Amino acid sequence: MSRVPHPTRVVVAADDLAGAVAKLEQLRATGFDGVAEVLLAADAVQQAAHTTHQLQTAIDNIPAPIFSKDAGGVYGACNTAFEAYVGVSRDRIIGRTVHGIWSKDLADVYAAADRALFDAGGKQVYDAAVVYADGSRHEVTFYKGVLTDEHGAVTGLSGAMLDITERRVLERRLQELADTDPLTGAANRALFTRRVDEAVARPGDCPPAVLLIDLDDFKGINDTLGHEVGDHFLIAVTGVLRDALADGGLVARLGGDEFAVLLEDRAEARIEQVVRRVVAALARPVEAAGHPLTPRASIGVARGRADLLRHADIALYAAKDGGKSRCVHYRPGMRTRVIDHAATLTALRRALADDRLTLHYQPVVRLGDRTVTGVEALVRWTDPARGPVPPAEFLPVAERSGLIVPLGEWVLRAACRDGGQAPMTYVNVSARELRETGFADRVATALAISGLAPDRLVIEVTEAAMDDAAALAGLHRIRDLGARIALDDFGIGRASVALLAEVPVAVVKVHRSFTERITENGRHTAVARALARLADDLGIDAVAKGVETAAQARRLQEIGYRHAQGFHIGRPLPRSDHVPAGHIDPSARPGLGCPN
C-alpha cells in the first residue's frame, strides 16, 4: 500500500487562539512539518490583539525592567523600563542577543548567567550593581526563571530587575547608625569590638594594637559647665584623636568619657609614634562651646593577638592606679595586680556595707603648752581575712572606683558624730568628693544629724583637689555653712600661695618635707619660716605636719609655728583612746596606730 504524502501547506480554521494552538499541536503530532496558516474569526483576532496590548501596557507601567528571551538568548519582549535601562527602543532590542546590545565584557557576563540558568533550570535570584544608559548607578535584584512548554522543554527565560538602591542606602545608613556614636560620629563599642576581633584573626607579621583612653575628671566639666559644654568637649576630643592618627586607625567612643583607638599593620616603632602623638595631643587645650579646656587622660596600651582588649584594660587600670593622666603599656604580670585590686575593692565595699570600718584620731596641738586644739579623723579597715589593711592600699582603690564618695560620706558622718569630744575635727575630702554637686548638702546633713556646730568642723583638702571651678565652688558653699577649710600639704605645689587668694582657707597644714629638714637651717627652714609668717599675716592657722622628734618641735616653735601634728605629738588612736582635750605628754603616749 502506497504512503500518502503530507501536504506542504495547510490552512487551519479556529474560533480562538486556544483552539488554533490545539490544532497546530495535533498537526505536529502527526509529523507535519510544512507551513500552517491559521484562520481566526474577526472577533478572535480583535480579542487577541486587545489582550496583547493590555499585557504590553501592563508591563510598561511597571517601573522595574522586564524582559524575555528564547532558548537561544534572543530577546522576544521587554517593557519601557528595560528600554530606559538599555538606552535604546524595543524594536532595536527584540530579535537581538545580549551581544548585539551590550559591550562584549558585559554581554559575556549576561550570557554566562543565562547559560547557568538554562543548565540548572528553575529560578535565579541575585543582587548586582548595574549602570543605566544615562550613567546612573543602581543596585538591583535580578529575578529570572526558565520558560518551558507543556512537555517541560526549555523554550526561553523571563526576568525582572527590582531596583533596591534606596533600600540599600537605608540599610547602610541604619548600619552606620548601629555602628556609630551619635554624639561624636566615632565608631561605637559594637563596631570597635567587631573590628578588633577581625584584626586579631587576620594573619600578618604586625599584630594590632589598642589604646584605651579614659578622660580624667570629666564629670567635673558636666557638673560645673553643663552637659552641653561636656558634649562639645567630647566632640573636640574625638577630633583631636582623629588628627593624631595621621596615617589611619579607628577611633571609637566606648561610652561616657571612654575612647579607644585601633591600630593595624604597624611596626612597633610606628605604634609608639602614634602613642606619643596621642599623649601630646591630649595635653593641649581644646575649645568646647567657648571654653578652653585641657583634656587629661589615662591611657592603657596593649598589642598582640590574644586577649588584646583585656590587656589594654589592665594597662588602663594600671595607669589610673598610678595617679591618672598617665600612659601605661601592658606587661605580663599586670593581671595579678588587677585581680588583687579587684579583690580589695570587693572586700572594702562589703566592709562599708556591713559598717566594719573604724575611725582613728590624731591630735593637733598648740606647741606652747601641748593643748589639743583638734583631731584629724583617719579611716581604718581591718579585714577578717587579711587583718589591718594600710590606708595607702585601699584608699587609692576607693578613689579609682568611685567608692570614695560613699566611703567619704561614712567618714564625714562618723567624724561629726564623734566631734563633740574634740575642740575641732578635721575630715579629709578627696577631689572626687569635692566635685560632687551634692557634697555641700551632705556636709550640712551630717552636721544637722550629729548636732555638731559647723565652726568645729574642718574640711581638709589638698591643692590637687582644687584645680577646677567645681571644686572651688564646692569649698565656698561649705564655707557658707560655717565650716572651716584646711589646705593640706601646703608649700609643695606650684600655686600654693596663689590659692590662698581664691580659697576661703582658715588652716594650712605645711607639708612634712619642711618638718623633716627643719633643724638643718637651710633653705627648707627659710621657706618654712616664710610660710608661717605668711599664714600669720593672713590670719590663717599654720599647722606643721610630720613632727617626729622633740628637736623638730622646738625648732618649729622658734621660727613661729603655733600648732603641730605628728608621731612625736600623738599617733592616730581609736575614739576611746584619743585625747579629746587638755594637754599631751608625748613621752606618755604608746606607739599605736598607723602613720599619718
Which of 18-27, 127-136, 215-224, 460-469 is predicted least confidently?
18-27
- Give one DSSP letter per residue of 311-351, joined into a string: HHHHHHHHHHHTTSS-EEE--TTHHHHHHHHHHHHHHHHHH
pLDDT at residue 577 tops 90: no
The secondary structure element, H or E, covering residue 353 is helix 334-353
Q: If you average pLDDT over residues 414-438, what whole number do you get? A: 89
Q: What is the pLDDT of residues 388-408, one digit of tens each?
A: 999 988 998 898 788 999 999
> Residue 364 pairs with which residues in a beta bridge?
374
Mean of all residue pLDDT scores within the chain: 86
Q: What is the dihedral of CA 497, 221, 280, 315, to 10 degrees?
A: 100
Cα angle 414, 417, 421 (rounded to 5 degrees) comes to 120
Query: Do residues 64 and 162 make contact, with C-beta atoms less than 8 angstroms apart?
Result: yes
Task: State how far Cα 139 lies from the chain centre.
Answer: 34
- CA–CA dist 389, 387 (Å, integer): 6
Query: Do residues 429 and 453 make contact, with C-beta atoms less than 8 angstroms apart?
Result: no
Sequence-separated (6 or more) residues with CB below 8 Å from residue 300: 211, 212, 312, 313, 314, 315, 316, 317, 318, 319, 327, 328, 330
Q: What is the pLDDT of residues 174-226, one digit of tens each?
A: 777 778 898 999 999 999 999 999 999 998 889 999 999 999 878 878 877 88
Q: How is residue 210 written as a grid cell? A: 589598642
Query: Do residues 401 and 345 make contact, with C-beta atoms less than 8 angstroms apart?
Result: yes
- CA–CA dist 221, 224 (Å, integer): 5
| Residue 594 pLDDT | 36
Please state the three-class secondary structure of 472-496 as a single string: HHHHHHHHHCCCEEEEEEECCCCCH
Q: What is the pLDDT of residues 90-112, one digit of tens each?
A: 899 999 999 999 899 989 999 99
Angle between helices 189-201 and 165-179 (to 10 degrees): 90
Which of 326-330, 379-383, 445-449, 590-594 is predicted least confidently?
590-594
Alpha helices in 148-262 (DSSP H): 165-179, 189-201, 218-225, 227-244
Q: If you average pLDDT over residues 564-589, what whole number do you get? A: 69
Q: If you average pLDDT over residues 484-501, what whole number do you get? A: 78
| Residue 279 pLDDT | 92
The secondary structure element, H or E, covering residue 210 is strand 209-215
Q: Strand (E) positions, 60-114?
A: 66-70, 75-78
Query: Do residues 245 and 264 make contact, with C-beta atoms less than 8 angstroms apart?
Result: no
